[in-house]
Amino acid sequence: MKKILSLAVIAAATLFASCNNGSPRASMKNDVDTLSYEIGLSQTAGIENYFQQSGIDSAYIDDFLRGVKDGALAGDDKKKQAYYAGVQAGVQMKTQMFPGIERMIFGNDSTKKLSLRNYLAGFTAGVRHKSALKINGVEIGPEQAGEDANKRFQVLRTKAMEEQYGPQRKEAQDFIEKKAKESGVKKLAEGVYYKVIKEGTGAVPSDTSVVRVQYEGKLPNGQVFDSTTRNNGGKAVPMNVGQSIPGFKVALSHMPVGSIWEIYIAYDQAYGEAGQGPIPPFSPLIFKVQLEGIGQ
């Protein structure tokens, strides 16, 4: 049966009945009654996945059901509605928002946490329009706090990344500096170098071109993280030059059709301090690229 309403709303349909030891008891006297029960029952398909995603321990199912019932029966009671909305916001903040921000700032260092107490103090002050925070002697509101928080976030993130990945960053810089000095290696831009394996004589793509390329991408340790041989049977793939990582974009927009180059890209012209998938933070990249043509 197609799901008609969300779990939180639909669960209420099963609760408007007399209770037996705290459990709602259905009274199905007509089609509307039966439909109400069926909709409620149908919404529990995959409920275990919902519990897992929400972090609900199966030992506390009765507490979950009591919460659903209390929320549904709050009806038009504005005081209860406000309370339950606050509970929901608090749970989402603690289980979703906080862990996400902490990962972005502190990476894999689970010993570092944001201050829940200070967060709640700031949130309360904002709701009540009474901030205790001043910058340069001026009391700030939510908008200014957001701007300052973004700056402070970047400072803390940079510091944390340096603590965790300082040696890797140094190795990455040394790798590019060494490549830049090798015979036959030429500079295209800061952090982007290349060596010609075969020089083509065709047209050179622009930043807005779609090109056909074969490529193999490797990390400095030789690990292949992507290639058209592995992912496309050795056939060229279309690629939008302007949507490539910065270093790849620079290289393609200088490369004549028919060329085969080996390209060396510094981490800040690739996936930066965050990395992506199999590419670790602060990793320079090596690409062997064959530019077959312009256009799909």
Helix (H, G, I), strand (E, B) or coil at 195: strand
pLDDT exceeds 50 at position 105: yes
Residue position matching structure tokens 């908008």? 143
pLDDT exceeds 50 at position 35: yes
Tell me which CATH code domain 171-294 carries.
Answer: 3.10.50.40
Q: How far apart are CA 105 and CA 217, in angstroms?
A: 28
Token pair in block for residue 115? 């201050």
- Cα atoms found within 13 Å of the Cα of residue 97, Cβ hemisphere only: 10
Which tens digit of pLDDT belongs to each residue from 43-66? 888 888 988 888 889 899 899 988
Q: How far apart are CA 57 and CA 274, in angstroms?
A: 33
| Distances, alpha carbon 164 to alpha carbons 41, 47, 175, 281, 287, in Å | 49, 39, 19, 10, 27
Do the beta carbons of residue 252 and residue 265 sit within 8 Å?
Answer: no
Q: Which span out of 86-100, 219-233, 252-266, 272-286 was modeled with the highest average pLDDT?
A: 252-266
Provide the pLDDT for residue 226: 93
Annotated domain spans of the chain: 7-73, 171-294
Instruction: Identify the sign of the CA torsion 106, 107, 109, 111.
Output: positive
